[in-house]
Amino acid sequence: MRTLAILALLAVLVAAATSYESHESMESHEYLNPFLNRRRANDFIQADTRLRGITQERIRERSKAPQEYQRELCEDYYPCEMYAFRHGYAAAYKHYFGGRRRTK
C-alpha cells in the first residue's frame, strides 16, 4: 500500500513536470495561431534550382545560335574543318558554304 502511494505520487510529479508550459513556448506565434496564411505557406520551400537548370539546358539544346549551327556544319566537312583551324570557323564557313551555292 505504501509502495502504491509512492508510485502514485511519483506519477503525479512526472505528469506535472512534463505538462508545464514555459514562458518561451508562450512567446511563439504558433501557440496562438498554429496555421499559416496561404500566401506564406510556401515561403520556406525553395524551388529546385537543379531542375530549373536542366530545363534551361534542354531549351538551349533545341535552339542553337546561328554561329553554332555553322560551326557544326563546318566540322562535318573535313576541308572546311582544316581551313577553320588556320583561319577560323567564320571564315571557313564563308569560304565553303557562303556566297554562291555549289552543285555536284
Give pLDDT tens digits for 68-92.
888 888 988 999 999 999 999 989 9
Phi, psi of 24 (to 5 degrees): -65, -35
* HSE-up (13 A, CA, CB side) for residue 83: 16
Higher pLDDT, 55 or 87: 87
CA-CA distance, 52 to 14, in Å (whole number)?
52
This prediction has a pTM of 0.38
The answer to whether 80 touches 92, Cβ cutoff 8 Å, is yes
Average pLDDT of span 11-20: 80
Judge whether 89 and 74 are in contact, CB under 8 Å: yes
Task: Compute the distance between CA of residue 21 and CA of residue 28 in angstroms, rounded to an integer.
Answer: 12
Whether the CB-CB separation of 83 and 92 falls below 8 Å is answered with: yes
Q: Is the pLDDT of residue 16 over 60?
A: yes
- pLDDT (0 to 100) of residue 82: 92
